[in-house]
Amino acid sequence: MINMTNQKSKLLEETFNSFFDISTNVSKDIELLDQIVADNVMGYGTAIDEKIVSLVDFKEMIKRQGVQSQGFDIDWKRTPILRRLSLDGNVAIRSDDITLVINTQGEIMKKLLRFSLILEFQNAAWKVIHWHSSKPEEVSTATDTFGIEEWREKTLLLEKMVADRTAELNKQKEELEHVLEDLRTTQNQLIQSEKMASLGELTAGIAHEIQNPLNFINNFSDVSRELIEEIEAQTAKKQEERDEELLSEILSDIKQNLEKINHHGKRADAIVKGMLQHSRTHSGKKEPTNINILADEYLRLAYHGLRAKDKSFNAALIVDFEENLPHANVIPQDIGRVFLNLFTNAFYATNQKQRENHAHKPIIWLITRHIGDTIEITVKDNGIGIPNNIKDKILQPFFTTKPTGEGTGLGLSLSYDIIVKGHGGNIAIDSVPGEFSAFTIRLLLDK
């Protein structure tokens, strides 16, 4: 049995552990090596041709490992595999299997190696006279003791690749933001163009609408002027020669004419105000609105607008309004724009069908209903209908079946946004190609 006191055995383990801690840079007190390492220590490190022949060389190797290890989270896991002692108890061999775990930026690297020491008991202390550490198989750099430097280079390369990719993505993001901004600008311009196009439709109809009251005003003014001339002729006569009954009738006629002039003047004023309401920007404030009156007004304006451009076009307008329809809380200008778009499309569809079949008689239906807590407005036409393969597309922005220059493809998509997003309603589409199309708007009544 080998005779070794507990104190000597404890000192052996402490020396072995201290050497391991210092050489793996866990403890930075390198000068402690003077106490536990022989002056002419011989050793073989993990790197190729790494041979230690003196304590000075060993210290330099440890310093290099310390520099290589900076910035890394390193964990050394030791598993004892060999413990041998000479018969006289003065020479010891210690070997451990080492798992080197490096954690950097969330990535884990593991390296396996073996760490062995030969120690000799000299002057009441254990001295390391020889050491050896096996090299991880994947380490190829001669000066890289544990493969840490190689790992660092790979990490730096990866970081550069990530930085380059991030810079590229940021550049692409900036480019996409510019493209998106250009698209938003273009979209706003197209939306304004669509609004101006609808305003053009209104203007044509308004011009026709205003012309009627103006004609009445002019006619009644001319008649009233002639009646005044008759009054002047009567008043020029002597008292006994005047026809008082005729004068009374003429004055009554003039009064009626003035009332008619006033009526048609107010009608023209209302038309102009309606046009201004449509063209000006609004605050988006909803207000109780008579849908029957609003829809009827835009139906006539859309019809007269088309007639102003094509006097050969005629259509039967069939209106079926539910009496006492509750007022809907809406933005009148926006809902009016929806009506105008639906009526214009309906007239276009019936006109196209009439061009294909001259015997065709265009008909437009405008129907309102109060159903439960909703108001339904249906615009139906007996035009060319909607092909089945595009029914799901017609509400998409920029989709149009009209020839280039005749439509922006925004009318129905804006109408959808106004009804669905702006008023919480919905639009239903029913159509049979070659027979009819019907658009039904449902608006929820405020409770």
In a domain, 115, yes or no: yes
pLDDT tens track for 344-396: 889 989 999 998 888 899 999 999 999 999 999 999 999 999 888 777 777 76
* CA trace torsion 229, 232, 238, 241 (10° rounding): 40
Q: How many domains does the chain have?
A: 2
> Is residue 91 a part of any domain in this protein?
yes
Domain assignment present for residue 429? The answer is yes
| Sequential pLDDT tens for the chain (447 residues) | 445 678 898 999 999 988 888 877 766 678 888 888 888 888 876 665 667 777 888 888 778 777 767 666 777 888 899 899 888 889 999 988 888 787 766 667 777 788 888 999 998 899 999 888 776 555 555 555 556 666 667 767 777 887 888 888 888 888 888 888 877 777 666 666 655 655 555 565 566 567 667 777 887 788 788 888 888 887 888 877 777 888 788 888 888 888 888 887 877 777 666 555 545 545 568 899 999 999 998 888 888 877 877 788 889 999 999 999 999 999 988 898 899 889 988 998 999 999 888 889 999 999 999 999 999 999 999 999 988 877 777 776 655 666 544 555 567 778 888 899 889 999 999 999 999 999 999 999 875
Return the pLDDT at 283: 54
408 lies in a domain? yes
Using alpha carbons only, give the angle 122, 124, 125 rounded to the nearest 5 degrees. 65
Domain boundary among 98, 125, 146: 146
* Residue 214 belongs to a domain: no
Q: Which domain holds residue 57?
A: 6-146
Number of CB atoms found within 10 A of residue 6's CB: 7
Tell me if 66 is assigned to some domain: yes
- The pLDDT tens digits of the residues spanning 370-379 come to 999 999 999 9
**Dihedral in degrees, nearest 10, Cα atoms 411, 413, 416, 417:** -110
- pTM, two decimals, is 0.46
The answer to whether residue 315 is domain-embedded is yes
Calpha distance 124→86 (Å, rounded): 16
Q: What is the CATH number of the domain that holds 368?
A: 3.30.565.10
